[in-house]
Structure formats: structure tokens, C-alpha cells
């Protein structure tokens, strides 16, 4: 089965539900708040939403510690509210992806409580346990620690990341010890079916697919990840048979593996081998006006991934997300415009993190909330207007889930919609240009035309059915020139801060500019 056709031209908007819009005054965002702002998202040009976890949870890790996969956390509303969000989004031609956390649950999950019992039961093998309290997980592939000594059961339970996140058992690719179960053992197979059951529950209610948390880490002792790839191929087969119009997006960061595993899309992440950070989030980002960045390693890795996927799936490059500092921490609004010219002209489905379109700041040094630690500063409330709490909530300021940016000149959506925020206007314009030109959309082929180590500009082309568009980006503060192979008669369909032009046998590219040049095929 191929990709759902709606993935060919969609632009996603990531919503952190806790801090998007609070409609009941408790200081925490909710689903009705998202429903109320669907027109804002649609008006920007985004027609897909990725919602961070909204299920019942003790919230030690902001909802990535699920206590009940089939129940919306009461603070966000009810299952009925989520169903209404799916329906209202669909009425506006929008899609909604939920965040699925299949690798672990919370210690509060009923499966886990049952699995802790000394007597064997249906859930005994739902999690990864050793068979002796003194036997830990030292050097066991993709297990980060354990919890032990808290239950009647003799053994240690593996955790993924935080100590309150016991690892679900999808089996071991290589079994080195007696307690390690192969992938096709009854326990791992039951876990797999339980997760399909969760997915089926939400897709049959109207959800359009899932972004899968830590997708590459499910099978343990899986050095080459072939076991995990096979696992996801089975999930994809299930979706193709029962929900062929739904999509799977992975937090994996290695498209050559994840897309082979059946995912339709994979994120390039701020960790792993992608060199994503070189673009926007190192000391000298490529998109900084200082012009000291280097994009060549990113391009090299991207080309390898792109060749490996054979355009069967989408490599997604996000503006940011809830796990990394905001793009505004390293770039100013004018630099971010050029960054968005890149993000909105490369293949794959673009992802815009809420607030990046208005230039929201990273709040450094604020108190950690729900396991956010240094990530908390990227999760502050959306700044809607100039009223109390920036229009996010009617609660007392000290009751807010996370504090609001205290800067009196903080950007707001209200100013953006009134034309007082040129970053928002530029992002909206770029999305519109992308939607207008098939050559710029998610599946049209891409080829780099001009890339030099530690140099500017960057030139690549996108080839559509009827036209080819050359993207010429010079984030540096100096005018530059290059001998890129671009037809001289190419016509500009978009430019910001001056236009690249051909003269004296070279392409002259103004400082801090972006130009999209079109030729008919």
C-alpha cells in the first residue's frame, strides 16, 4: 500500500495541549481550547495537527507516562471532546495525529500493577522483567535503567528514560539470558496486539494516525534495529488492512530505517546522526546572519537518507518541538524568515511548533514543570493577545501551568493577525506558495544544486509535474555569488529581502535573502 494521498500536500502544526488555550480557567490548556483555535491554525495555512499526549496520566513526564491509553486526561476534557475535535477538524479539511507512546506506560497503569504481582497472570510478561531482584539490566541494549524492590514479584523491571516509565515488552532481537523473551513469544505478541487495540480505538473514533514516541527503541538487544523494523512492518500491515487512510509518523531520526519499517514519515531529530542542529541550534547556525555556519554535513546525511528511502516516505524537518529550545533562542525574526523559506520548500511534511510562527521566545532558567527540566522553557503558554495571561487563561498568574513570557513586548497572535508581525505574514505567505506549486509539495523530488563547505548560498531544486523551482538561500549578512546551474530565464515566484539575479556569468544573491525561481518543464 502507498501513502494516504492527503500526505502529499499537508503542513502540520504541533500543539502542546497544556499550554495552547485554557477555556475553563484552571491554568491548563484543554481540547475545547484547541477546537476554538482551529480557524487560527487553518488561517495560517496548516491543515494538520499533531497533538502531544492527551491521555490519562500522573504527569511525571508531561503525559508521556500513560496511565490509560483509552481515556482523555480529565484536565483536558473527555473522550467526547476529542471526538468533537476530530469532527470539527475534518469539517475544515484538517487532519489530527495523536501522540502514541508504545514503549512504556506509567507505573500507575493497570497493566503494570497486575504485572507486579507474584502470581502469574495475563500481564506478567507485558513488561520487561528480569527473574531475580539482584539481576539488573547492565549493558542490555536500549534499556536505560530499572526499578526494583517495590513489589511482591521477584525481579527488576526495565525503564525507558524516567524511573516512572516501565518498559513494555516487545521482545528481544537477541536473547542472552533466560528471562529475555524472543519477539514472537506470547508476552511480546500480546503487547503488540494490545497496542494495535489502542490504535484501533482512536482511529475508529476519527483520529487520522499517530506520531509514535521513541519508535526505534521498542525491541531490546536490537543492535541493527532489524527487529524493530520488522515489528513496525507488522503495525503498518494492520493499518493498511483496517485504516488505509491513516498515517504513521516516527520519532526515530533515521529515515532509512523507519520508512523501511512502514512509517509514512520520519522526523529529523535534535539528537542522532542527522546534523539537524547545524541548521538552527548550534553556536554558529547556518541560518544566522553571521554567516559562519556549515550546512555541508547536514546535506550529505540528508542525501544519504533521501537515496535510501527512494521517495517512498517523507523526511520531516520541524521548526522545533517540545523537547528542544525554541528557534528564537538562536535566530532573530528576520533570520527565522529565511529558515522558514528552507523549512517550507524542502520535501516531506513541514511541522511548525506552536508559537514559532509569531517568534515566541525560549524562557531559560524557569522552574521545571512535569519532568520538563530544561525543556520547560519551550512549553510556555501561547501568547494570544494583550489581555491577562496573554489571553491564554483567566486564572490567577500563579496558577498557570507554566509561566508566561514576562516581556511586555512579547509577540502575540493578535498583533500577527493585525499585520503587526511580519514573521507570521512571511510564514503564511510561504505556506501559500508551497500549496500553490506542486513542485514545492511534500513528495516532489529534490536535488541539491550548489552546496559548499562553510559557505553560502545554498541552492537546491524541486521538480514538479509541470515546473521546476530552484530555491536560492543566502542566510548570511553578506552579498554572495555562485555559478549554480540555474536557467537564466527562471522567473521569481517568491522572494524575501531582495532577489537572486544572473549577471556577468554568475548568480548574485543578496545578503539575508531567499528567492524561489521557476522554469516550465
Note the pTM of the prediction, 2 decimals: 0.97
pLDDT at 477: 98
List domains and CATH numbers for the chain: 5-103+195-435 (3.20.20.80), 446-520 (2.60.40.1180)
The DSSP result for 98-125, as a single string, is: EEE--SB--TTSHHHHHHTSSS--TTTT
The answer to whether the beta carbons of residues 95 and 47 sit under 8 Å apart is yes
Alpha-carbon dihedral angle through residues 382, 386, 392, 395, given to the nearest 10 degrees: 140
- Examine the pLDDT at 270 and tell me if it is beyond 90: no
CA distance 309 to 258: 9
Q: Which of 109, 91, 288 is nearest to 194 (CA)?
A: 109
Confidence of residue 218 (pLDDT cuts 50, 70, 90): very high
Give the whole-number percent of the chain exceeding pLDDT 90. Answer: 96
Over residues 366-389, mean pLDDT: 98
- How far from the centroid of its chain's Cα atoms is residue 507's Cα? 35
- Examine the pLDDT at 326 and tell me if it is beyond 80: yes
Q: CA-CA distances (angstroms) from residue 36 to 12, 30, 32?
A: 17, 10, 6
Over residues 439-460, mean pLDDT: 97
Over residues 227-231, mean pLDDT: 98
- Treating both helix axes as pointing N-terminal to C-terminal, what angle do 186-203 and 226-242 enclose, rounded to 10 degrees? 40
Alpha-carbon dihedral angle through residues 494, 3, 100, 203, given to the nearest 10 degrees: 110
Q: What is the mean pLDDT of the chain?
A: 97
* 492-506 pLDDT per residue, tens: 999 999 999 999 999
| Residue where the block lists cell 506478567 | 124
The answer to whether the beta carbons of residues 494 and 462 sit under 8 Å apart is no
Q: CA-CA distances (angstroms) from residue 345 to 65, 87, 263, 302, 337?
A: 35, 30, 22, 15, 12
pLDDT at 69: 98
* 420-430 pLDDT per residue, tens: 989 999 999 99
- Examine the pLDDT at 213 and tell me if it is beyond 90: yes
Confidence of residue 440 (pLDDT cuts 50, 70, 90): very high
Amino acid at each position: 500500500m502507498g501513502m494516504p494521498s492527503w500526505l502529499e500536500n499537508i503542513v502540520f502544526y504541533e500543539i502542546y495541549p497544556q499550554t495552547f488555550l485554557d477555556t475553563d480557567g484552571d491554568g491548563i490548556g484543554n481540547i475545547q481550547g484547541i477546537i476554538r483555535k482551529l480557524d487560527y491554525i487553518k488561517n495560517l495555512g496548516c491543515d494538520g495537527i499533531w497533538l502531544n499526549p492527551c491521555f490519562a496520566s500522573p504527569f511525571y513526564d508531561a503525559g508521556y507516562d500513560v496511565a490509560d491509553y483509552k481515556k482523555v486526561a480529565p484536565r483536558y476534557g473527555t473522550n467526547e471532546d476529542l471526538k468533537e475535535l476530530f469532527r470539527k477538524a475534518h469539517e475544515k479539511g484538517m487532519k489530527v495525529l495523536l501522540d502514541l507512546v508504545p514503549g512504556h506506560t506509567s507505573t500507575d497503569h493497570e497493566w503494570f500493577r497486575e504485572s507486579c504481582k507474584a502470581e502469574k497472570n495475563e500481564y506478567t510478561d507485558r513488561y520487561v522483567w528480569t527473574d531475580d531482584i539482584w539481576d539488573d539490566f547492565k549493558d542490555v541494549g536500549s534499556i536505560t535503567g530499572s526499578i526494583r524492590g517495590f513489589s511482591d514479584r521477584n525481579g527488576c523491571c526495565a525503564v525507558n528514560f524516567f524511573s516512572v516509565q516501565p518498559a513494555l515488552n516487545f521482545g528481544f532481537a537477541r536473547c542472552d539470558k533466560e528471562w529475555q523473551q524472543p519477539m514472537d513469544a506470547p508476552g511480546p505478541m500480546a503487547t503488540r496486539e494490545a497496542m494495535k487495540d489502542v490504535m484501533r480505538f482512536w482511529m475508529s473514533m476519527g483520529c487520522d494516525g499517530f506520531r509514535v514516541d521513541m519508535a526505534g527503541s521498542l525491541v531490546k538487544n536490537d543492535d541493527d534495529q532489524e527487529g524493530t523494523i520488522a515489528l513496525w512492518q507488522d503495525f503498518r500491515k494492520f493499518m493498511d488492512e483496517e485504516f488505509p487512510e491513516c498515517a504513521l509518523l516516527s520519532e526515530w531520526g533515521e529515515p532509512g530505517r523507519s520508512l523501511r519499517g512502514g512509517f509514512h514519515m520520519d522526523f529529523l531529530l535534535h539528537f542522532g546522526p542527522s546534523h539537524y542542529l547545524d541548521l538552527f541550534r548550534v553556536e554558529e547556525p547556518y541560518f544566522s546572519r553571521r554567516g559562519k555556519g556549515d550546512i555541508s554535513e547536514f546535506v550529505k546525511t540528508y542525501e544519504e537518507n533521501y537515496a535510501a528511502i527512494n521517495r517512498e516516505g517523507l523526511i520531516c524537518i520541524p521548526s522545533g518541538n517540545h523537547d528542544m529550545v525554541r528557534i528564537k533562542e538562536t535566530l532573530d525574526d528576520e533570520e527565522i524568515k529565511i529558515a522558514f523559506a528552507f523549512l517550507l520548500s524542502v520535501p516531506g511534511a513541514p511541522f511548525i511548533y506552536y508559537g514559532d510562527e509569531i517568534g515566541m521566545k525560549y524562557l531559560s532558567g524557569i522552574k521545571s514543570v512535569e519532568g520538563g527540566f530544561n525543556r520547560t522553557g519551550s512549553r510556555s503558554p501561547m501568547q494570544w493577545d494583550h489581555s491577562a495571561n496573554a489571553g491564554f487563561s483567566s486564572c490567577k498568574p500563579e496558577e498557570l501551568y507554566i509561566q508566561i513570557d514576562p516581556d511586555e513586548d512579547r509577540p502575540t497572535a493578535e498583533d500577527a493577525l493585525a499585520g503587526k508581525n511580519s514573521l507570521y505574514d512571511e510564514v503564511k505567505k510561504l505556506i501559500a506558495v508551497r500549496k500553490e506549486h506542486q513542485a514545492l509539495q511534500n513528495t516532489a523530488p529534490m536535488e541539491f544544486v550548489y552546496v559548499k563547505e562553510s559557505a553560502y548560498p545554498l541552492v537546491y531544486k524541486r521538480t514538479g509535474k509541470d515546473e521546476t523551482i530552484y530555491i536560492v538561500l543566502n542566510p548570511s549578512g553578506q552579498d554572495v555569488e555562485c555559478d549554480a546551474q540555474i536557467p537564466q530565464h527562471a522567473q521569481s515566484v517568491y522572494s524575501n529581502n531582495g532577489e537572486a539575479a544572473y549577471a556577468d556569468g554568475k548568480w548574485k544573491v543578496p545578503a539575508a535573502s531567499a528567492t524561489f525561481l521557476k522554469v516550465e518543464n
